[in-house]
Amino acid sequence: MPNYNTMEMMVTAAARELEDGATTAVGTGAPCAAAMLAMKTKAPNLVIMFEAGGVSPILPEMPISVGDSRTTYKAIMASGMCEIMETCCRGFVDYVFLGGAQIDMYGNLNATRLGGGDHQKPKTRLPGSGGANDLASFCWRTMVITPQDKRRFVEKVDFITTPGWLQGGDSREKSGLPKGTGPYKIITNMGAMDFEPKSKRMRVISVNPGYSFKDIQDNCGFELLKADKIVNTEPPSDEELRILREEVDPYRYIIGR
């Protein structure tokens, strides 16, 4: 039996994607836990930015919102949303972590509405973009941490809140968004996906312990591509788990889910 749970696997896998010296915009929850774990293991010079204005704080513990006072504790800057978005627009932010109710094969995200052809009368109204559209439009690499199931991974999102590769190919660049930006990795409880360089369609690149490519495909609402070589995700090490449980999220706000 593994000595870790699903959320610990996802947070650890996401943390491994962040290199030392990079800049990353995060929200609260799993993205923040991943950034904190990366900083305490392999990326001590990682610059963490929060949408509400905190830049590179020394996080004493897990903040519960992007405006939590802990997001500016010993920070190099306590600014505001306009400054953070401007920094993204100027091309200074390497990564952003996002989520949503739906994601499609091109990495477009929906956090606005579900069902119904009338935008004013959807089946379900969701919170909307917040800063997600701006962040995904201008940060270099967008990453998503989400559970793997057919309700989330759909062939076509009901509404594009956050642009991914749009219709695939060069459609994102043709839309006017900066060249070189776009979806990068999708981290789920079953594995990880990236996007095939030419078509920009989602493809499986790694499989988590206890799962197979078939499991991932069976829990996806569209056909996934396969990388030339699909690797097995390394489980969290004892040291990664210790830091995650004792220093990053000792109250189990995230990893206790």
Is the pLDDT reported for residue 116 higher than 80? Answer: no
Structural domain spans, the chain: 6-248
| pLDDT value for 257 | 81
| Res. 118: pLDDT tops 90 | no
The pLDDT, as a whole number, for residue 119 is 85
pLDDT of residue 28: 85
What positions carry a catalytic annotation?
51
The one-letter code for the residue type at 46 is L
What is d(CA 160, CA 17) in angstroms, rounded to the nearest whole number?
Answer: 26
In tens, the pLDDT along 227-236 reads 999 999 999 9
Query: Under a CB-based contact definition with an 8 Å cutoff, are residues 48 and 70 in contact?
Result: no
Q: pTM to 2 decimals? A: 0.93
Mean pLDDT score of the chain: 95
What is the topology classification, in CATH, of domain 6-248? Glutaconate Coenzyme A-transferase (3.40.1080)
pLDDT digits (tens, 9 = 90+) for 119-170: 888 999 999 998 899 999 999 999 999 999 999 999 999 999 999 999 999 9
228 token code pair: 């030339």
Residue found under tokens 């594009």: 160
Question: pLDDT band at residue 2, thresholds of 50, 70 and 90?
Answer: confident
